[in-house]
Amino acid sequence: MKKLLLLIALAGIGYLVYRQIAASKAEDDLWTEATAEPDLR
């Protein structure tokens, strides 16, 4: 039973870390787009 709870806790922590990294990447992409030189062609 303790192993199952530990596994669930580790999966939850892994998911939270994944979400945080994905959010950070999305924010970086937005900043890159917002600060890019305009295409004036």
Q: Report the chain's mean pLDDT, rounded to a whole number.
A: 94
Q: How far apart are alpha carbons 14 and 12 in whole angstroms?
A: 5
Q: What is the pLDDT of residue 37?
A: 85
> How many other CB atoms are there within 10 angstroms of residue 26's CB atom?
10
Reported as a pLDDT band with limits 50, 70 and 90, residue 11 is very high
Reported as a pLDDT band with limits 50, 70 and 90, residue 41 is confident
Is the CA virtual torsion 9, 10, 16, 19 positive or negative?
Answer: negative
Reported as a pLDDT band with limits 50, 70 and 90, residue 38 is confident
| Sequence letter at residue 5 | L
% pLDDT > 90, the chain? 80
- Mean pLDDT for 15-41 is 92
Q: How far is CA 13 from the centre of its chain?
A: 13
